Amino acid sequence: MATTMTAPGRVAVRMKVNGVEYAADVEPRLLLVSFLRDNLGLTGTHIGCDTSQCGACVIHLDGEPVKSCTLLTAQANGAELTTIEGVAKNGEYDAMQMGFWEMHGLQCGYCTPGMIMTANAFLDRNPDPTEAEIRHALEGNLCRCTGYQNIVKAVQYAAKQRSGGAMEPGPGTDLDFEHKDVIEHAPEDLQDWGDQLAGQEER
C-alpha cells in the first residue's frame, strides 16, 4: 500500500491489529511500539531497551515476529499485526500462554508478552524443536527473573500441545478447591439473611 502524506509532517497509515482495522495520521518518526501503546492503548507490548536487544516489544507483522521499537509506524502501513492482546481467542488462552502459566515461565511478567510472541512464531516454523533450538530462538528476548529454564519448558509444553500430544501438567497444578471441605454455597444463616433483605426490597 502506498504511503500518502496527508498534512505537512504527517503520514496516513492503515493497519489491522488483532483483527480490527485502524486508520490514523501520525508523525513519520512515530515508532510502531509508541503507536500501539499510546494511540491504540495496547499496552501489553512493552519497552525495555532502546537498542533492539530485549525483545519486550515483539509483535507479529504479517505473521513474522518483529521488534516494534525498531519499526516506524509508517512501515507497518497496510500490514496485519498481532499483539499479545490478540493471542487468547474467545477468552481461551493459547498453548504458549498455558505453557508459561503451567511451567512457571514468568515471574515479573514484563518480558512475557514478547517471549510469547517470539516463541509462537518460532513454533510456527519449527514445531518440534530441541532444547538447544529453543534457547537459540529466544536469544532476542531477555529475561532477568527466571534464568530461562522454565521459559524453555513453557515452549516445550506448547510444542507438545500444539502437536496434539498429551498435556502433562506442569509443576503449577490446577487445584480442586473442594478438597477443603468448605461449604460451597452461602451458609444457611447467610442465605436467610440474604432472603430477608431481598424480601424487604420487594416491599
Partner 1 sequence: MAATIEAPELLVGQPIRRREDPKLMTGSGNFLDDIRLPGMSYAAILRSPVAHARITSIDTTKARNMPGVIGVFTGEDLADVNPLPCAWQAAGVENNVATPRLLALGEVRQVGDPIAVVVAESVYQANDALEGIEVDFEELQAVVDSREAVKPGAPQLHENAPNNIVMHWTCGADAETVDKALAGAEVRVSQSVANQRLIPTAMEPRGSVGLYEPATQEYTLWATSQAPHVHKLVVAAFVLGIPEQKIRVIAPDVGGGFGSKIFVYFDMPLVLWLSKALGRPVKFFEDRTENYLHTTHGRDHHTDIEIGATKDGKITALKVSTLANLGAYLSTVAPGVATTLYGRMVAGCYKIPNIHVDVKGVYTNTAMVDAYRGAGRPEATFVIERACDLVADATGVDPAEVRRRNFIQPADFPYDTGIGMLPYDSGNYVPALDLALQHAGYASLLEQQAARRANGGRKLLGIGVSSYVEVCGIAPSKWIGLSGEGWGAGLWESADVRVYLTGKVSVTSGSLPHGQGHETTFAQIVADRLGVPYDDIEIEHSDTKGTPFGFGSYGSRSLTVGGTAIYKSVDKVVEKAKLLAAHMLEAAPEDIVYENGKAWVKGSPDAVKTIQDIALQAHVAYDLPSGMEPGLEAVTYYDPPNCTFPFGTHVCVVEVDRDTGNVEIIKYVGVDDVGNVINPMIVDGQFHGGIAQGIAQALYEGAVYADNGELITATMNDYAIPKASMLPTYELDRTVTTTDVNPMGAKGAGEAGTIGSTPAVANAVVDALSHLGVKHLDMPYTPERVWRAMQNGNA
Span 55-94, contacts to partner 1 by CB under 8 A = 56, 83-85, 87-88, 93
Does 201 sit near partner 1 (CB under 8 A)? no
Residues 119-138 that bind partner 1 (CB under 8 A): 132, 134-136, 138
Does 151 sit near partner 1 (CB under 8 A)? yes
Hey, is 91 helix, strand or coil? coil
Instruction: Provide, rounded to whole angstroms, the least separation between the CB of residue 173 and partner 1.
Output: 5
Does 109 sit near partner 1 (CB under 8 A)? yes
Question: Is residue 169 packed enough to be buried (19+ CB in 10 Å), middle (13-18) or exposed (0-12)?
Answer: exposed
Instruction: Provide, rounded to whole angstroms, the least separation between the CB of residue 15 and partner 1.
Output: 18
CA distance 82 to 4: 24
Instruction: Provide, rounded to whole angstroms, the least separation between the CB of residue 39 and partner 1.
Output: 11
Residues 24-43 that bind partner 1 (CB under 8 A): 27, 29-30, 34, 37, 41-43
Report the DSSP pairing between strands 11-17 and 80-82. parallel
Instruction: Provide, rounded to whole angstroms, the least separation between the CB of residue 162 and partner 1.
Output: 15
Size of the site for partner 1 (CB under 8 A): 80
Residue where the block lists cell 509443576? 171
114 residue type, one letter = G
Query: Any idea of the CA torsion for 26, 28, 34, 35, to the nearest 10 degrees?
Result: 40
Q: Return all residues near 16 (Cβ < 8 A) that are at least 6 apart.
A: 22, 79, 80, 81
In this structure, what DSSP letter does residue 69 have?
Answer: T
Does 21 sit near partner 1 (CB under 8 A)? no
Does 176 sit near partner 1 (CB under 8 A)? yes
Beta carbon nearer to partner 1, 123 or 138? 138
Beta carbon nearer to partner 1, 1 or 49? 49
CA angle at 56 for the pair 25 and 33, rounded to the nearest 5° = 5
Q: Which stretch binds partner 1 (CB under 8 A): 60-68, 71-79, 120-128, 175-183?
A: 175-183
